[in-house]
Structure 1
Amino acid sequence: MFELIFCSLLTVLPDYLLRRRFQGKRWGVEIDFFTVWYELRWGITMCAMLTTMLITIVFYYHPSTSNVASFFRTLTILSEGGGRVEEVYVEINEEVKAGDPIFKLDSSSQEAAAETARRQIEEVNAALQVVEAERGTANAIVAQAQAAYQQTLEDFQRQVALRDRGSTAVSERDVTVLQNELAVRQGEVDAAKAGLDALQVQIDVQLPAQLASAEAALAQAETEISKLTVYAGVDGTIEQLTLRRGDIVNPILRPAGILVPSDAGRNRFQAGFSQVSAQVVKKGGVAEIMCASKPFTVIPMVITEVQDVIASGQIRPSDRLADVQVQSAPGTILAFLEPIYPGQTDDIPPGSNCLANAYTYNHDLLDDPSLGFGQWLFMHVVDTVGVVHAAGLRIRSLLLPLQTLVFTGH
């Protein structure tokens, strides 16, 4: 409409004034609704051509879109395992900090496993004390066996010495008996040392291994107990949490609720522009948005990123070949917008639907001395006609509440 009115002022109106003032033709006499096309045909034709050209320039170099939203990621509140709810610590719409508990599942079986592991640790520690006491007894038995062996050895050496001197008080049989007894004493010493070594192995290897296993079982049980309490991973707001004591939570079928992070979708908007604008929408460009959740306000934005792929072209392997013909709809160029001035979008709720205009800005290029006159003039025209789109966005922001509340009744 703006383009048509503007072009009419440059073509149809001068044509009409020429015929009215200089040719003396009057509206309603020589010029009426039946002769208007013939009389103003040059102005109407030029107006249509100029309007078409102007609209093309405006919409190409200053693209607009109604596909604008502040998408945000929510976190599903889930436990690592299923179970029955024992206690709920928060309510719906309650703000939580990272690390705050949300709810706890019944931990009776895990508590029993932890208590069993603690008893096993106590049993191993008690067994260790018993073995320490037995080691003292074994040391005494070794000392006793060594003393008996030493006594038998001295008797044997004395009898051998008397025999070698030819004493008649010692017979060969006595020497043989002492020799056999000495071997028995040596066996007793070896058996006592073996028993002591066995006790030492229990102290150094077996019981520490049993203790480590019991401690590992306790640590596992305590870990399982800690997993039964679900904590907030980030700062945010609890939504859709209707848990009550006794409810069943399943990580696959029955999630507990949703956590909306505090910074989710804040001060960052995603706009989908037509593919024909791919060469115009660039990182660092200037844009404006108007959101339904904040009417009567146009917010200046800057394009911080432009996605280098189009989402509609995404495929994933399946048992069927992809056919371009069955593609549902052409995708858009996704641009990420952030406010130029901090704080202007703080009160816009994440998920809001908005309108956006992106503008081609040639001010820096116009200062280039090597720029030709034709290019200089065309860039001036492009920058100037951006006012048309800017005015249109502001008018839509004024009419949006009226259109929404009065004409649609929403």
Structure 2
Amino acid sequence: MLELTLCSMLTLLPDYLFRRYVQGKRIGHEITLFSVWYELRWGITTCLILTVLLIAVVLYNHPSSENVTSLFRTVSIYPEVGGRVSEVYVGYNDRVKEGDPLFKMDSTRQEAALATARARVAEVDASAATAEADILTSEGKFQEAKGALEQAQDELRTKTQLQQRNADIVAAREIEKLQTLVATRQGAVDAAAAAKQSAQTRISSVIPAQKASAEAELAAAKVELDRQMVRAGVAGRVDQFVLRVGDVIQPAPFTRAAGILIPEGAGENQLVAGFNQIEAQVIKVGMAAEATCVTKPMAIIPLVVTREQNVIAAGQIRATDQLTDLSKIGAPGTVTVFLEPLFKGGLDTVPPGSSCIVNAYSSNHDLIASGKVGSLEKIYLHGVDAVALVHALIIRLQAIVLPLKVLVLGGH
């Protein structure tokens, strides 16, 4: 309607003024309801053609979208292991910080396992102290056996020398007994040395390995116990959290979430818009834009395009056991564009998830100033930039009419 009114001022109105004041034709006489088309046919035809062209130029070069919202993500609250809830630390719609406890599962079995693991570590430490004492005992026995061996060897050596001097002084049987005694005590020395080596190996290798294993079991038991406590992964607000002590809950995907955690700053300071595919070549990063939102009526929010998604969701495909028929993909998708407020705090009062209307405006100033275009193209580009005023007026009319449309015409 605005475009038609503007075009009629340039075509239909001059045609009527020419008929009225140059040709002398009057409304109700020469210009009647039945002769309007014939008398004003040039103005009407030119007005309609110019209106269609103006609408095409405005909509193409200054795209608009009603598929606009401030998207935000949520974090589902699940336990890592299933069981019965023993404690709940937060309530409905409470705010939490990262790492704050949300609820705790019954941990009787895990606490018993942790106590067993700690006892196992203490047992290994006690074994280490016992092994130290065993080394000292083995050392004493080794020295004792070594001394007895040396004594038997000295006695054998003395008796052997006496026999060599005079065979009648020492009997051969006594020499044999001493040789057997030396061999026996040598065995005792070897046994004591082996016992000492075993004790040293136990304290240097076996007990450290046992302690490492016991400490690993203790760490695993602590991890299992910690898993019974469900904590907030990020700072935010807990919503739809109705979990109570005694409820039985399972990890995903076997049951529904215990609640939803909405992270701080989720969806704030950014709008996501879906524009028609034909406008993909027009939308550029850095374009100025304006928005009006249902949650903030009667207000225009200046924006700027910060990012454009380089793929269209409608073409997404998954590998399956059947070939995809393109006719069954569905409706064409939109070009996803991310917009941020031009001024700080522009979206602070717009709640995440709000529905908005966005207009983006092309600017050819730099291209015109570069001198790379001809005169006719300069005139056209100036006209393209000028008609952005039409869309700017339209979004302001939409901002004014939006409360009426929602509250009255919407049936609320």
- TMscore range, shorter length: over 0.9
**C-alpha distance in 2, partners of 1:332/1:126?**
71
Query: What corresponds to 1:127 in structure 2?
Result: 127
Distance in 1 (alpha carbons) for counterparts of 2:138 and 2:379: 108
Please identify, of 367-376 and 223-232, the stretch whose mean Cα deviation from structure 2 is larger.
367-376
1:135-284 matches, cutoff 5 A: 135-252=135-252, 253-284=255-286
How far apart are the structure 2 equivalents of 1:372 and 1:128? 93
CA shift for structure 1 position 167:
4.4
Question: Match of 1:6?
Answer: 6
Select 1:286's aligned residue among 271, 285, 288: 288
Partner of 1:45: 45
Deviates more, 1:97-106 or 1:120-129: 120-129
- Greater CA deviation, 21-30 or 344-353? 21-30
Q: Which of 316, 326, 348 is the equivalent residue of 1:314?
A: 316
Aligned-partner Cα distance in 1 for 2:288–2:323: 41
Cα shift at 1:249 = 2.0
Structure 1 runs not aligned, ≥5 long? none
SS of the equivalent of 1:319 reads: coil
What amino acid does structure 1 have at the position aligned with 2:321? Answer: D
Indicate the residue corresponding to 2:387 in structure 1. Answer: 385
Counterparts of 1:107-126 in structure 2 under 5 Å? 107-126=107-126
Q: Does residue 1:86 correspond to 2:62, yes or no?
A: no
Q: Which residue of 2 aligns with 1:102?
A: 102
Give the Å deviation of 1:155: 0.8
Moved over 3 A (4+): none
Q: Deviations over 1:209-235 (max 9, x none)?
A: 222211111111111111221221222
Shift of 1:251: 1.6
More off after superposition, 8-17 vs 283-292: 8-17
Query: Which stretch has the larger CA shift, 399-408 or 336-345?
Result: 399-408
Q: Which amino acid aligns with 2:32?
A: D
Deviation at 1:370, TM superposition (A): 4.2
Deviation at 1:368, TM superposition (A): 2.5
Q: CA deviation at 1:8?
A: 1.0
Q: Deviation per CA, 1:278-313: give whole Å up to 9, x if none.
A: 111011111111110101111111101111111101
Query: Pick from 366, 370, 381: which aligns with 1:364?
Result: 366
Residues 224-271 of structure 1, C-alpha deviation per residue, up to 9 Å, x if partnerless? 111221221222111111111111221221322111111111111111
Question: How much has 1:105 moved relative to structure 2?
Answer: 1.2
Between 1:316-325 and 1:295-304, the stretch displaced more is: 316-325
| AA of the residue aligned to 1:299 | I
Cα displacement (A) at 1:314: 0.8
Q: How many residues align?
A: 410
Q: Compute the displacement of 1:389 (Å).
A: 0.5
Q: CA deviation at 1:340?
A: 0.7
Residue 178 (structure 1) shift: 0.9
| 385, 399, 402: which one aligns with 2:401 | 399
Deviation at 1:127, TM superposition (A): 2.5
TM-score, structure 1 normalization: 0.97
CA distance in 2, matches of 1:315, 1:127: 63
Give the secondary structure class of the aligned counterpart of 1:367.
Answer: helix
- With normalisation by structure 2, the TM-score equals 0.97
Q: Indicate the residue corresponding to 1:296 in structure 2.
A: 298
Structure 1 residue 81, shift from structure 2 partner: 1.3
Task: Give the Cα–Cα distance (whole angstroms) in 1 for the partners of residues 293 and 139 of structure 2.
Answer: 89
Residue aligning to 2:66? 66
Q: Aligned partners of 1:24 and 1:133: how far apart in 2?
A: 131
RMSD of aligned Cα (Å)? 1.3
Aligned residue identity for 1:219: A
Task: Give the whole-Å Cα distance in 2 for the aligned partners of 1:124 and 1:279.
Answer: 73
2 CA distance for matches of 1:118 and 1:369? Answer: 81
For residues 77 and 55 of structure 2, the distance between their equivalents in structure 1, rounded to whole angstroms, comes to 50
Which SS does the other structure have where 1:214 is aligned?
Answer: helix
